[in-house]
Amino acid sequence: MIHENLVKVEERVAKACERAGRKREEVTLIAVSKTKPVDDVKEAMKDGIIDFGENKVQEIMDKYEAIPEKLNWHMIGHLQRNKVKYIVDKVCLIHSVDSLRLAIQIDEEAKKKNLVCPILIEVNAAGEDTKFGVSVQETEPLIQEIAKLSNVKIKGLMTIAPFVEDAEENRVHFQALKKLSVDIKRKNIDNVDMSILSMGMTGDYEVAIEEGATMIRVGTGIFGNRNYSI
């Protein structure tokens, strides 16, 4: 089923790129494999997928160990500071940085391992109470502070849009994130680039692509429904 799903997703991604007048290469499809077994990851790899998203530190570590091939692991979930040390050298990008304290921890752990860790700032674009992420207003001040750290590199913004029936309802939030990224890019802050816009999930990735997403995070649409009870 994973192969068939990937064919469908790929077709829809290509069409959305076409509608938006964008090149397919501008959009990275991240297969969100959280809660799914290693065999599912291997199945997706057969289709050429190398970018995988996880939201739990333990799960990244387990899958990282179990799969010898070099993959791009994306940390997309809320990250506790005491767990940063386990993944800072295993992930290609942390999408979910929403505080200076967390960024400082990442910076310290990255320093110990002699690397620079690429990060995104998670923005609560829709202003939902239930979500992590900083508000649109808080984003630039936070970036100004994080930019001073030597071993993290801000590469852009990420948002998790609300769960909606009609993806069109999220278009305004994707537009808001794009606008914020353009505004921040214009400030030319040292050590900051705004090349990545991580937005769009199974229910709304086509709208996100139309509004400028450079990374989409698709779980259910590739691997099927998640079972949290096991």
Ligand X SMILES: *Cc1c(COP(=O)(O)O)cnc(C)c1O
**Binding stretches for ligand X (CB under 6 A):** 32, 34, 55, 76-77, 160, 201-203, 217-221
Would you say how long the chain is, in residues? 230
Q: Output 121 or 149, the one with its CB closest to ligand X.
A: 121
The DSSP output letter for 166 is S
Min dist. Cβ of residue 35 to ligand X (A): 9
Q: Which two tokens stand for residue 157?
A: 């913004």
Distance CA 75, CA 117 (A): 12
Q: Output 32 or 44, the one with its CB closest to ligand X.
A: 32
155 exposed, middle or buried (CB, 10 Å; 0-12, 13-18, 19+)? Answer: buried
Min dist. Cβ of residue 77 to ligand X (A): 5
Min dist. Cβ of residue 55 to ligand X (A): 5
Q: Output 90 or 226, the one with its CB closest to ligand X.
A: 226
Min dist. Cβ of residue 96 to ligand X (A): 7
Q: Output 33 or 105, the one with its CB closest to ligand X.
A: 33
Q: Which residue is nearest to ligand X (CB)?
A: 219
Q: Output 156 or 219, the one with its CB closest to ligand X.
A: 219
Min dist. Cβ of residue 5 to ligand X (A): 11
DSSP structure string for 115-148:
--EEEEEEB-TT--TT--SB-HHHHHHHHHHHTT
Exposed e or buried b for every residue in 36-50, given b needs 16+ CB within 10 A?
A: beeebbebbbeeebe
First to last CA, the chain: 21
